Amino acid sequence: MRKSEISSIVFAILLISFLLPFLQLSCGNQELKTVSGIQMITGFKMEQPFAEKDKPRIKKIKGDPFTRLAFLLGIIGLVLSFLKGRFISKITALIGFLGAGTMLFLKTKIDQKIAETGAGLLAVNYKIGFWLVLVLFMVIFLINLLLPEKQE
């Protein structure tokens, strides 16, 4: 199997992983919301456990730019994996590196936001979709950096 074929399969699985649960928000032991990668891209509504009288109980959370960037990198990588060229595998490796970095920045940003606004009550648990996307970006990076291209 050629490196580009492996990359195509991994990018396809990576993009499908955005449909899986990405993170779970909880307050104490009570689960508040489980969010998929697609919801992280487009935004979602969440019921607040403690709402003030004058404020709405449902809060709209905007889509996250880091998640959008990771998804866009996945799409670009999938398209590039079907092309032939001298530097395609190096560009694809760069996309894997940038994608993994984007996912790590996303995690740092979410952890920081939860620490600032959660007052010690809110917690986030990263689910299978998040970890799959992160690991698959790393796999893309390593495949395209380390595996030699099969000559036809």
Domain ranges of the chain: 3-146
CATH 1.20.58 holds for 3-146: no
pLDDT digit string, tens, across residues 109-132: 999 988 887 667 788 899 999 999
Q: Render the burial of 47-65: b for 16+ CB within 10 Å, e for the rest.
A: eeeeeeeeeeeeeeeeebe
pLDDT digit string, tens, across residues 30-81: 888 899 999 999 988 877 656 566 666 677 888 889 999 999 999 999 999 9
Average pLDDT, the chain: 87
Distance between CA atoms of 52 and 29, rounded to whole angstroms?
22
pLDDT digit string, tens, across residues 69-89: 999 999 999 999 998 888 888
